[in-house]
A and B are shown apart, each in its own frame.
Chain A
Amino acid sequence: MALTKADFAERLFDELGLNKREAKDMVEMFFEEIKGSLEHGEQVKISGFGKFELRDKSSRPGRNPKTGEEIPITARRVVTFRSGQKLKARVEAYAGAE
Protein backbone atom coordinates (compact mmCIF):
# COMPACT_ATOMS: atom_id res chain seq x y z
CA MET A 1 0.00 0.00 0.00
CA ALA A 2 1.48 3.31 -1.04
CA LEU A 3 0.80 6.87 0.05
CA THR A 4 -1.02 8.82 -2.71
CA LYS A 5 -2.32 12.33 -3.35
CA ALA A 6 -5.70 11.29 -1.95
CA ASP A 7 -4.07 10.37 1.38
CA PHE A 8 -2.37 13.77 1.64
CA ALA A 9 -5.65 15.56 0.90
CA GLU A 10 -7.51 13.42 3.44
CA ARG A 11 -5.05 14.41 6.16
CA LEU A 12 -5.29 18.13 5.29
CA PHE A 13 -9.06 17.77 5.58
CA ASP A 14 -8.95 15.84 8.88
CA GLU A 15 -6.21 17.73 10.66
CA LEU A 16 -6.28 21.25 9.26
CA GLY A 17 -9.95 21.62 8.48
CA LEU A 18 -9.41 22.60 4.85
CA ASN A 19 -12.50 21.65 2.85
CA LYS A 20 -12.20 18.76 0.39
CA ARG A 21 -11.74 21.07 -2.62
CA GLU A 22 -9.06 23.18 -0.89
CA ALA A 23 -7.25 20.10 0.36
CA LYS A 24 -7.20 18.50 -3.09
CA ASP A 25 -6.04 21.75 -4.75
CA MET A 26 -3.32 22.24 -2.15
CA VAL A 27 -1.83 18.79 -2.77
CA GLU A 28 -2.13 19.19 -6.54
CA MET A 29 -0.45 22.61 -6.46
CA PHE A 30 2.26 21.45 -4.07
CA PHE A 31 3.60 18.97 -6.61
CA GLU A 32 2.80 21.19 -9.60
CA GLU A 33 4.87 24.07 -8.14
CA ILE A 34 7.85 21.76 -7.68
CA LYS A 35 7.48 20.44 -11.24
CA GLY A 36 7.14 23.98 -12.61
CA SER A 37 10.27 25.12 -10.81
CA LEU A 38 12.31 22.16 -12.07
CA GLU A 39 10.93 22.73 -15.56
CA HIS A 40 12.43 26.22 -15.44
CA GLY A 41 15.85 24.91 -14.56
CA GLU A 42 15.44 25.83 -10.91
CA GLN A 43 16.43 23.21 -8.33
CA VAL A 44 14.15 22.78 -5.33
CA LYS A 45 15.32 22.54 -1.74
CA ILE A 46 12.74 21.47 0.84
CA SER A 47 14.35 21.76 4.25
CA GLY A 48 13.41 18.83 6.48
CA PHE A 49 12.94 16.59 3.45
CA GLY A 50 15.50 16.84 0.67
CA LYS A 51 16.64 18.50 -2.51
CA PHE A 52 15.51 17.93 -6.09
CA GLU A 53 18.54 18.55 -8.27
CA LEU A 54 18.92 18.84 -12.03
CA ARG A 55 21.72 17.36 -14.08
CA ASP A 56 22.62 17.72 -17.73
CA LYS A 57 23.90 14.42 -19.12
CA SER A 58 25.81 14.24 -22.37
CA SER A 59 25.01 11.52 -24.88
CA ARG A 60 26.66 8.15 -24.47
CA PRO A 61 26.61 4.81 -26.25
CA GLY A 62 23.95 2.41 -25.03
CA ARG A 63 22.70 -1.03 -25.88
CA ASN A 64 19.37 -2.75 -26.13
CA PRO A 65 19.77 -5.34 -23.37
CA LYS A 66 17.48 -7.79 -25.18
CA THR A 67 18.97 -7.73 -28.67
CA GLY A 68 22.45 -6.44 -27.88
CA GLU A 69 21.95 -3.85 -30.59
CA GLU A 70 23.88 -0.59 -30.09
CA ILE A 71 21.74 2.54 -29.79
CA PRO A 72 23.07 5.93 -28.69
CA ILE A 73 21.52 7.42 -25.52
CA THR A 74 20.78 11.05 -26.34
CA ALA A 75 21.86 14.02 -24.21
CA ARG A 76 19.24 14.81 -21.62
CA ARG A 77 18.39 16.70 -18.46
CA VAL A 78 17.40 14.57 -15.46
CA VAL A 79 16.04 15.10 -11.95
CA THR A 80 17.74 13.51 -8.97
CA PHE A 81 16.68 13.57 -5.33
CA ARG A 82 19.05 13.86 -2.38
CA SER A 83 17.41 13.25 0.94
CA GLY A 84 18.21 15.64 3.77
CA GLN A 85 20.01 14.64 6.97
CA LYS A 86 16.82 14.39 8.99
CA LEU A 87 15.03 12.07 6.55
CA LYS A 88 18.18 9.99 6.05
CA ALA A 89 18.52 9.45 9.78
CA ARG A 90 14.84 8.52 10.19
CA VAL A 91 14.95 6.05 7.31
CA GLU A 92 18.19 4.49 8.55
CA ALA A 93 16.46 3.74 11.82
CA TYR A 94 13.87 1.67 9.92
CA ALA A 95 14.72 -1.98 10.54
CA GLY A 96 12.80 -3.40 7.61
CA ALA A 97 9.62 -5.47 7.46
CA GLU A 98 10.10 -9.09 8.40
Chain B
Amino acid sequence: MTKSELIEALAKHQPHLAQKDVEIAVKCIIEQMNQALSSGERIEIRGFGSFSLHLRPPRMGRNPKTGESVALSKKYVPHFKPGKELRDRVDASREKCKIVD
Protein backbone atom coordinates (compact mmCIF):
# COMPACT_ATOMS: atom_id res chain seq x y z
CA MET B 1 0.00 0.00 0.00
CA THR B 2 1.22 3.48 -0.85
CA LYS B 3 0.23 6.89 0.44
CA SER B 4 -2.12 7.49 -2.50
CA GLU B 5 -3.79 4.10 -1.94
CA LEU B 6 -4.20 4.98 1.72
CA ILE B 7 -5.85 8.27 0.74
CA GLU B 8 -8.22 6.43 -1.64
CA ALA B 9 -9.18 3.92 1.05
CA LEU B 10 -9.87 6.68 3.58
CA ALA B 11 -11.92 8.63 1.04
CA LYS B 12 -14.09 5.53 0.56
CA HIS B 13 -14.74 5.38 4.30
CA GLN B 14 -15.61 9.06 4.51
CA PRO B 15 -17.72 9.58 1.37
CA HIS B 16 -19.00 12.94 2.61
CA LEU B 17 -15.47 14.38 2.37
CA ALA B 18 -13.87 15.37 -0.93
CA GLN B 19 -10.83 13.26 -1.89
CA LYS B 20 -8.79 16.47 -1.89
CA ASP B 21 -9.69 17.10 1.77
CA VAL B 22 -8.74 13.54 2.71
CA GLU B 23 -5.42 14.08 0.97
CA ILE B 24 -4.79 17.27 2.95
CA ALA B 25 -5.76 15.50 6.19
CA VAL B 26 -3.34 12.63 5.52
CA LYS B 27 -0.53 15.05 4.73
CA CYS B 28 -1.35 16.97 7.91
CA ILE B 29 -1.09 13.80 10.04
CA ILE B 30 2.21 12.80 8.42
CA GLU B 31 3.67 16.29 8.81
CA GLN B 32 2.70 16.30 12.49
CA MET B 33 4.52 13.00 13.01
CA ASN B 34 7.60 14.33 11.20
CA GLN B 35 7.54 17.52 13.25
CA ALA B 36 7.17 15.68 16.55
CA LEU B 37 10.06 13.30 15.86
CA SER B 38 12.36 15.99 14.52
CA SER B 39 11.87 17.96 17.75
CA GLY B 40 12.53 14.90 19.89
CA GLU B 41 8.91 14.26 20.87
CA ARG B 42 7.56 10.70 21.12
CA ILE B 43 4.41 9.53 19.33
CA GLU B 44 2.14 7.04 21.08
CA ILE B 45 -0.77 5.43 19.26
CA ARG B 46 -2.67 2.90 21.36
CA GLY B 47 -2.97 -0.43 19.52
CA PHE B 48 -0.65 0.68 16.74
CA GLY B 49 2.67 1.43 18.36
CA SER B 50 5.03 4.16 19.43
CA PHE B 51 7.72 6.16 17.66
CA SER B 52 10.71 7.53 19.51
CA LEU B 53 14.31 8.51 18.85
CA HIS B 54 17.28 6.29 19.53
CA LEU B 55 20.70 7.81 20.11
CA ARG B 56 23.61 6.63 18.01
CA PRO B 57 26.77 7.56 19.94
CA PRO B 58 29.72 9.24 18.17
CA ARG B 59 32.07 6.80 16.45
CA MET B 60 35.03 6.59 14.14
CA GLY B 61 33.93 5.76 10.64
CA ARG B 62 35.87 5.09 7.50
CA ASN B 63 35.61 6.45 4.00
CA PRO B 64 35.10 3.20 2.08
CA LYS B 65 36.78 4.64 -1.02
CA THR B 66 39.97 5.98 0.49
CA GLY B 67 40.11 3.96 3.73
CA GLU B 68 40.59 7.24 5.59
CA SER B 69 39.19 7.49 9.17
CA VAL B 70 36.52 10.11 9.81
CA ALA B 71 35.03 11.15 13.14
CA LEU B 72 31.23 10.83 13.09
CA SER B 73 29.32 12.80 15.70
CA LYS B 74 26.38 11.40 17.68
CA LYS B 75 23.03 11.33 15.95
CA TYR B 76 19.43 10.35 16.54
CA VAL B 77 17.47 7.87 14.44
CA PRO B 78 13.69 7.26 14.42
CA HIS B 79 12.55 4.02 16.04
CA PHE B 80 9.15 2.29 15.88
CA LYS B 81 7.90 -0.22 18.42
CA PRO B 82 4.73 -1.97 17.25
CA GLY B 83 1.90 -2.10 19.80
CA LYS B 84 0.43 -5.35 21.07
CA GLU B 85 -2.66 -5.29 18.88
CA LEU B 86 -0.64 -4.68 15.69
CA ARG B 87 1.90 -7.33 16.69
CA ASP B 88 -0.80 -9.91 17.35
CA ARG B 89 -2.80 -9.17 14.22
CA VAL B 90 0.27 -9.32 11.98
CA ASP B 91 1.55 -12.51 13.56
CA ALA B 92 -1.87 -14.17 13.22
CA SER B 93 -1.70 -13.59 9.45
CA ARG B 94 1.59 -15.44 9.04
CA GLU B 95 0.08 -18.68 7.84
CA LYS B 96 -2.75 -17.05 5.89
CA CYS B 97 -0.98 -14.80 3.43
CA LYS B 98 2.38 -14.12 1.85
CA ILE B 99 4.24 -10.84 2.25
CA VAL B 100 3.73 -8.53 -0.73
CA ASP B 101 4.74 -4.95 -1.48
Contacts and interface: CB of A to CB of B under 8 A. Distances in A.
Nearest to A53: B99
A42 B100 contact: yes
Contact of A16 (B21, B53, B92, B99): B21
Most B Cβ at <10 Å: residue of A27, A39, A55: A39
A2 B91 contact: no
B34 A45 contact: no
A91 B76 contact: yes
B99 A26 contact: no
B61 interface: no
Interface in A1-44: 1-5, 7-8, 11-12, 15-16, 18, 22, 25-27, 29-31, 33-35, 37-44
Interface in B37-90: 37-51, 53, 55, 74-80, 82, 85-87, 89-90
Interface string B24-44: 111111101110111111111
Interface of B: 1-3, 6, 9-10, 13-14, 17, 21-22, 24-30, 32-34, 36-51, 53, 55, 74-80, 82, 85-87, 89-94, 96-101
